[in-house]
A = this chain, B = another copy of it.
């Protein structure tokens, strides 16, 4: 691969290094916590908590790879080869984790089996399509003769809007049957999802116009994606766990007594 002349300053290198390390630690320990914490909810909510832990575990693997790849590509500030940095890890990670995030959200509601699978049959393919259509734009690849990153960004927005429609209109209907406390948390999850998923296209657009290697755009992209990942996966998974715990206590008075002293 061709060496590019532009490179990261020491400060930029340390910033991306620290953010990737923060992402790695957040993912790893959220996973460990969620896998152990599944016992603190009723059996019917455990799959949702396990899927949340699987999402952060998948992301842990990819953050390990990105961290090593970043260190290799920029050779600890002394020499560097930005072209060796592979944004594909993020997209492979998202291809696996984003559909699973939607599975968590639907699973924790413990809807009837038919309603659950009808919702997932639409959300999961839409999430996969959204990620697959974004990759060529972010990696500056020409696929099917399309080389303009903006076109891939636009195509990727179509399944994104469809997901929002399903979450806000369709899921909204089944929310009325949940308790006030659960409704509040689910609404928070949806807002978190929109706010963090909104960071990805903004970051994508910021990085889009670069020709060759642009250090500040590179740093903005890596920092933006990492922070959004931590919110969208770790925080999201922990809220899923707290919804599962509230619903467990609501469903079963004995469980509530054994888990919370005052009830």
Contact = CB atoms under 8 A, between A and B. Distances in A.
A259 interface: yes
Contacts of A39: 46
Contact of A40 (B36, B37, B47, B113): B47
B95 A44 contact: no
A258 interface: yes
B44 A260 contact: yes
A96 B30 CA distance: 11
Contacts of A54: 29, 32-33
B26 A259 contact: no
A32 B47 contact: no
Given A21-B92, A29-B57, A89-B21, A259 B10 contact: no
Interface string A173-189: 00000000000000000
A95 B32 contact: no
Contacts of A29: 54, 57-58, 61, 96
Contacts of A95: 22
A121 interface: no
The number of times this chain is found in the oligomer is 2
Contacts of A125: none
A63 B114 CA distance: 36
B1 A10 contact: yes
A198 interface: no
Nearest 7 interchain pairs by C-beta: A18-B88, A110-B261, A112-B262, A22-B92, A29-B58, A33-B54, A43-B258
Interface of A: 1, 10-11, 14, 17-18, 21-22, 24-26, 28-29, 32-33, 35-40, 42-44, 46-47, 50-51, 54, 57-58, 61-62, 65, 76-78, 83-84, 86, 88-89, 91-93, 95-96, 110-113, 141, 251, 258-262
